Structure 1
């Protein structure tokens, strides 16, 4: 009874297993913390269940180690021994018997020593992985920044497009109104001229109709005296215009639409020049490190000491952000306008206006 009571008291005093600790494989229900593991039994014991290994003679011969979990995984499948060594040739865990047989000539070290080496490598791998993660996060951020900049550029381009095209649409509407007004005014002027001529003709017709009536009436008179007296007033025709030289010419609209289109073209050219100047200004506000290729660079170009500018004699030319645009948006030869180098054509240099360093 005393022994049983003592055992019960010891069980109550023993700590329960905590997360990360090795539990007793014998405890029913709630497991206690293991104090030893037996390599012969493949079982971990708490203090109570470990007691027979301290008392029974046969069990005393068992090989005991500090508590280990998954004991079966730690045993060599071939020799049924604890794997305490590491073969550096084949990079596997081995037992003492393995070093005397299959791994006899292989360099082996204790697991603890190899653990330290691998732990250092693991730290390096972790650092490399973290660096790769950081690089990819940076790539993600760059992509997001690119999308953000692209969206800002798109919004600005849309806003500029709306502003310019709206202005052009207003101009086109105004030109259309002016064209319609001008055509209507010409038509109205022609119609007024025609109406005045028609009115004048109708008045002359009315006068001539009255004269015709008087002539007919006089032709029926038998009174000689009255006839001769009236004939004298009817002999001369009423004053009328010579209509052989009078005509109504329809208004000419030839060239009206073309002149409006010419005005539109002029406005478009002005807007294009404004946009080109704005784009060139945006391109020129960046500076980059550059290297002049001796095979392609103009012989008069000289790179500045800070590598941010190109000097053309006394003229300093700032370079765009993208060096590839140097041949398209920036003058790489003296006084050449942007875009000139993009095209090839036969040309003649005017000695009065061409730059002295230019040659065909």
Structure 2
């Protein structure tokens, strides 16, 4: 409602008792105006009925007459005052459906009237007994969607069969014999289901978060275990490489020694053979010269002076056999096998008895089924388990006292 252009001063519209703008103003026989509630409460506290302004006495409680002109003017004054305090509706807010001209922001919507009201126009719903029974909700748009398109009645029931909102007339037609319930009742039922569903979803989320954390913990443990294994493996392999390099050097020295022995013997025999060949070549030259002498006397004289044939070895039994190195390699590997086996045994022992991990496990013992001699911690709900990793299987040993 637009503010009226009132030229009278504001003091003329103020009740002299409450000092506020008239609310439901009434006039006394002496012509003064008061709020109905103010004057009635004033007379209830007085022994005599008199006017609070002029102190005129009345023989009996006078009949109060409604001042309609002052009521309208006071209402306009109140509307203008509230309009100054109350902001205008914003695009994202619900406007008052009653305001004309400048629309104010609605503070409530009536599901019976299907109208949204600002503070000023909501006043009758807070004062009139019949309107007080109307259901008021936070401001909402499209209230016409709450009306049944077929019967032009309020949608106040819920059809459980078709799962739609219906009016009272719908239950006598298309939804006859269908189970229906008031919207509020069904709303409470569905809200309870939603809360249960929300709780279940949260539980499922927590379970999956725990599973994610479990997987991450396993991955982290695997990374740490892999790093430890790589470090241990590097140390063991380094030791093995030192052993192998040592025996490689020893093997090379043995092979070279055997080769050098064969070469030295062969060179000695070749040198001796070359010496004999030289001696035999000299003897051959002498024999050739002797064969060309024709003088018989000179021949025999020369022949007798010839030295005896040079001494030579019987080379038919002398031989140089090639050196066999396969046995050397085998013997070296046999010597390497023992330290390798010792190192592997030490490694297997280290893997077989890995580091001990302790876990605290929450347990709840059934007094009817639990072992009578089982003793838990002081808290009564924990015990310690030591986990030993032995190759591919895990042995659990309880550390409780029996």
Shorter-normalised TM range: 0.5 to 0.7
1:287/1:108 CA distance change after superposition, 3 Å: closer
Structure 2 partner of 1:190: 262
Higher RCO (C-alpha under 8 Å, 6+ residues apart): 2
Deviations 1:46-82 (A, max 9, x none): 356779x99xxxxx99x96535414233334454343
1:223/1:264 CA distance change after superposition, 3 Å: same
Separation in structure 1 between the aligned mates of residue 266 and residue 176 of structure 2, nearest angstrom = 124
Structure 2 partner of 1:3: 4
Separation in structure 1 between the aligned mates of residue 358 and residue 244 of structure 2, nearest angstrom = 37
- What displacement does 1:106 show? 5.2
Structure 1 partner of 2:116: 44
Q: Which has the higher strand share?
A: 2
1:19/1:44 CA distance change after superposition, 3 Å: same
Separation in structure 2 between the aligned mates of residue 118 and residue 287 of structure 1, nearest angstrom = 44
Q: Does 1:252 align with 2:330?
A: no
- What displacement does 1:246 show? 2.2
Instruction: Indicate which of 203, 215, 231 corresponds to 1:143.
Output: 215
Separation in structure 2 between the aligned mates of residue 286 and residue 25 of structure 1, nearest angstrom = 72
- Alpha carbons 1:23, 1:44 under 8 Å: kept: yes
Separation in structure 2 between the aligned mates of residue 256 and residue 46 of structure 1, nearest angstrom = 110
1:215/1:107 CA distance change after superposition, 3 Å: closer
- What displacement does 1:35 show? 4.5
- Alpha carbons 2:254, 2:328 under 8 Å: kept: no
Structure 2 partner of 1:153: 225
Counterpart secondary structure, 1:3: coil
**Over the residues paired in the alignment, what is the CA RMSD in angstroms?**
5.0
Q: Which stretch has the larger CA shift, 193-202 or 67-76?
A: 67-76
Structure 2 partner of 1:12: 84
1:211/1:268 CA distance change after superposition, 3 Å: same
Larger Rg computed on CA atoms: 2
Paired residue total: 295
Separation in structure 1 between the aligned mates of residue 5 and residue 306 of structure 2, nearest angstrom = 169
Query: Could you tell me the TM-score, scaled by structure 1's length?
Result: 0.59
Structure 2, unaligned stretches of length 5 or more? 7-76, 362-370, 376-385, 397-402
Counterpart secondary structure, 1:249: coil
Q: Which stretch has the larger CA shift, 63-72 or 179-188?
A: 63-72
1:109/1:43 CA distance change after superposition, 3 Å: closer
- Alpha carbons 1:23, 1:32 under 8 Å: kept: yes
- What displacement does 1:145 show? 1.5
